[in-house]
A = this chain, B = another copy of it.
Amino acid sequence: MKSPIPEYLERILLECRDLDGGTIPEGNSELAKADPDFFGVALSSVGGSIYTAGDVDDLFSIQSISKTLTYALALDDNGIEAMLRVVDTEPSGDSFNEISLEPETGRPRNALINAGALAVHAMVKADSVEHRVERIRALHCALAGRELSVDRAVHEAELAADDRNTGIAHLLKAVGVLGAEPADVVEGYAGQCSISVSCRDLATIASVMANGGISPTTGERLLDAATDRRVLATMATCGMYDGSGSWIFTVGIPAKSGVAGAIIGVLPGQVGVAVVSPRLNAHGNSVRGVAVFERLSRDLELHMMHVSSTGQSAIRAMHDREESYRVELQGDLRFAGAETVVARFTEGFPGRRMIEVDFRHVREVDEAARGLLNESLFRLREDGYEVDVIDPNALL
C-alpha cells in the first residue's frame, strides 16, 4: 500500500501555489536572490516517519528559526533564573520589527524577537565569536541528524546591513542585559542566522522538539526535556509576533518563522512540520507557509489543545491469575497515567498475594510518575502484598 500522506501534501502544495501577494525582503542581498516560486513542505512524526512534497532538499538560511534552539542552548548553559534576568517570556504584542524592551529593566520581552535573540545569543557560553557560532551550529546538526554549514555569502550580506541589530545590541549593553560586546554579538548572531538548512532538515529538527527532545530515529536525548518544554511554551505564546494569540487560536501549533520564508511548527507528542516559500506578508511570515499551516491544522486536526487522554492507556492489560495479579503498563507515563495505575492499586487485589507490575511496554517514565509509582509500590508492600516489578530498562 502506498501511504496517502505524501499525496495529501502534494495536493496542499498545488492548492497553495497560486497564492498571490507577499514580497521577498530586500534587506539582505543574498536573500533577495531567492526564487519566489521555491516551495516545499515536510512533516516528520515522533514515530520517525517523514513525509515531504516540493522543494524539500534545497538549502536556504535558517534565519530567525535559529532563535529557538539557541534559546535552548542558552537555557541549558545558564539556567532559567539567569536567563530570566536578560530576557522576559511575555508576548510583545508588537510587530516583528519593534524593539520591545521592558520599560523598567530594559529586558527584551521574549527570546523570539530580535532584541531577545541578540541577548540570548550573547548568553551562549563560548571563548570567542567563532566558538559561539560553532556551538549553535553543532546543536542544529545534532537535531537535523546531519552536518550543516554556515553560508558565508549570507553571513557577509547580513553584516553588510546590520544597523538595526547593531543598534539594538548597543541599547541592550546600555541597559546591562548584553553579556558580550555588541559587535561580537551582531557578528555571531548573523552567523547563527546563516546556517544552511533544507525544509527536510527543519522538519527533522521540529520532530525532535515534538518528541520531548529525543530523536525519533535514534532514540537519543538531544535536548533536556524541561528546556524543550520552555522553548515550546515561548513559541506558543510569542512565536508569531503580534499575531501569536490568533495563531494559537486558529492554527494551534507552536511555531517560528524566518525571513528566508520558512516556518517550523512543533506539535508536542505528534509531529514536527516545516514549510518554505520566500514571499512574506506584512507580518514577516511566509504567505504560502501560513496557508499551508492553516490547511494542515484544519485537515489533520493538529492543535496543541487536542491531545490524547494519556491517562486512559497507561494500563495495557490486567491478568488475574491464580497465584498472582499482573498489571501491564504501557506508553509514556506522566502524572495522569501513573494516577490511573495508582487508582487501580487503591482498589486492592482481594484474595491475591503476589502483584506483578510489568513495565516492558512502557517507553518513558517522568520524575512525577516515578515518584508516585515508587511510593505506591512501597505502600502495596506495606499492605502485605508481594510486589514483583518487571522493569528490564530500569525506568523506575
Q: Which A residues are closer than 8 A to B by beta carbons?
A: 1-5, 45-47, 49, 88-93, 95, 98-99, 103, 110, 163-164, 166-174, 182, 211-212, 225, 228-230, 232-234, 236-238, 242-246, 248-250, 252, 254, 267-271, 299-313, 316, 330-332, 334-337, 339-340, 342-343, 345-346, 348, 363, 366-369, 371-372, 375-376, 379-380, 383
Contact = CB atoms under 8 A, between A and B. Distances in A.
Given A3-B343, A174-B167, A343-B3, A211 B89 contact: no
Given A110-B245, A174-B167, A230-B249, A343 B47 contact: yes
Contacts of A228: 305
Contacts of A171: 99, 163-164, 167-168, 171
A184 to B, nearest CB: 14
Given A170-B170, A174-B163, A340-B47, A229 B305 contact: yes
B252 A47 contact: no
Given A269-B310, A332-B309, A47 B233 contact: no
A305 B91 contact: no
A244 B308 contact: no
- How many copies of this chain? 4
28 contacts: A1-B346, A1-B383, A45-B311, A45-B343, A46-B336, A47-B312, A90-B244, A91-B237, A91-B244, A92-B93, A110-B245, A167-B172, A167-B174, A229-B252, A230-B249, A233-B252, A233-B305, A236-B236, A269-B309, A269-B311, A271-B335, A299-B371, A301-B334, A306-B366, A307-B310, A308-B310, A309-B363, A313-B331
